[in-house]
Amino acid sequence: MHNFSAALVQHEGRVIIKVRGDVDGATAAEFAACLRVLATASAHVVIDVAEVELIAMAGIDVLIDALQRVGPVGSVTLRHPKGGTLKAVETAGLCDLVKLETSSA
């Protein structure tokens, strides 16, 4: 998917990051900038990745940085991850560190 965007949005009374498109070397900086803003404002970061098909190693590095920013009392949650995103998180060994919301319930 070529139309990448990462934006802070209000959803269900919380500020989350809505990501669309592939998170790779060409788009990781924009993803990281958005994550830094939210991680500075909140220890609990929620990222909606329902419209992400691919997250490459550059995107995984951004998630690792976010985990370090929120520290041990914070959290990083991926909302609605698809197969490719889940596989990348599993391959990187982040399943025990990143919370996964796989349903809207």
Average pLDDT, the chain: 89
Question: CB-side exposure of 20: number of CA atoms within 13 Å?
Answer: 8
Query: Of the candidates 95, 3, 90, 60, which has an alpha carbon nearest to the alpha carbon of residue 18?
Result: 3
pLDDT-derived band at 60 (thresholds 50, 70, 90) equals very high
- Sorted by where each starts, the structural domains of the chain and their CATH numbers stand as 5-101 (3.30.750.24)
Q: pTM for this structure? A: 0.89
Instruction: Specify the residue for token string 């990222």.
Output: 47
Q: In the predicted model, is pLDDT for residue 17 greater than 70?
A: yes
Q: In the predicted model, is pLDDT for residue 45 greater than 80?
A: yes
pLDDT-derived band at 49 (thresholds 50, 70, 90) equals very high
Query: Of the candidates 25, 81, 84, 26, which has an alpha carbon nearest to the alpha carbon of residue 98?
Result: 81
Structure confidence by residue, pLDDT tens digits, 83-101: 889 999 999 999 999 999 9
